[in-house]
Amino acid sequence: MQPLEVAVAPVTTLSSYESRRSHGSFGLSTAIVSLTAVAIRSARGCVFSAHDRDTALSPASYCLYMTRRSRRSVLASGTLAAIGLTGCLGDSGPNADSSSSSYDEGGGANGVTPEEMAATPDESAVETSPVPTAKSQLPVEYALESLREATVENVVPRDGIPSVDEPIFEPVADVGEGAEPRPDDPVFGVVRNGEAKAYPRSILVHHEIVNDEIGGEPIAVTYCPLTGTAMGFERGDVEFGVSGHLLNSNLVMYDRAEESYWPQMLATAIEGPLEAASLREVPVYWTTWETWVEAHPDSVVVVRDRDYVRDYENDPYRSYNPPSGYYAEDSDVLFEPLTADDRHPPKQPFRCSRPDDRPLAISLEGLREHGVYGISGDDREDDYLAAYDATLDVGHLYRVDDASGYEFDADASAVTGPDGERHDPADLPLESLSAYDAMWFAWAGFYPSTSVHE
Work out the average pLDDT over 22-45: 30
Q: Residue 166: CB partners within 8 Å, gap ≥ 6?
A: 305
Pick the closest to residue 4 from 44, 57, 61, 51 (CA basis): 44
pLDDT value at position 110?
64
The closest of 366, 363, 426 to 398, measured between CA atoms, is 426
Question: Residue 26's pLDDT band (boundaries 50, 70, 90)?
Answer: very low
Query: In whole angstroms, what is the distance from residue 28 CA to residue 206 CA?
Result: 8
- Tell me if 345 sits within 8 A of 331, measured CB to CB: no
DSSP single-letter state for residue 182: P
| pTM across the whole model | 0.80
**pLDDT score, position 54:** 31
Instruction: Report the chain's mean pLDDT, rounded to a whole number.
Output: 80
pLDDT digits (tens, 9 = 90+) for 130-143: 999 999 999 999 99
E-state strands within 70-185: 168-171
The predicted model gives 88-96 an average pLDDT of 33
pLDDT > 90? residue 391: yes
Name which residue leads in pLDDT, 53 or 246: 246
Question: What's the pLDDT tens digit per position in 199-237?
Answer: 999 999 999 999 999 999 999 999 999 999 999 999 999
Domain ranges of the chain: 1-340, 349-453
How many helical (H) and strand (E) elements, i.e. helices and strands, does the chain have?
A: 7, 30
Beta strands in 193-255 (DSSP E): 195-200, 209-214, 217-224, 229-234, 240-247, 250-255
Please give the Cα distance from 97 to 151 (Å, whole number): 28
Summarize the confidence of residues 329-354 as an average pLDDT.
96
Residue closest to 375 by CA, chosen among 364, 367, 383: 383
Contacts (Cβ under 8 Å, ≥6 apart) of 83:
63, 64, 65, 66, 155, 334
DSSP category for residue 178: T
pLDDT at 329 over 50: yes
Whether residue 128 is predicted with pLDDT greater than 50 in this model: the reply is yes
Q: Does the pLDDT at position 411 exceed 80?
A: yes
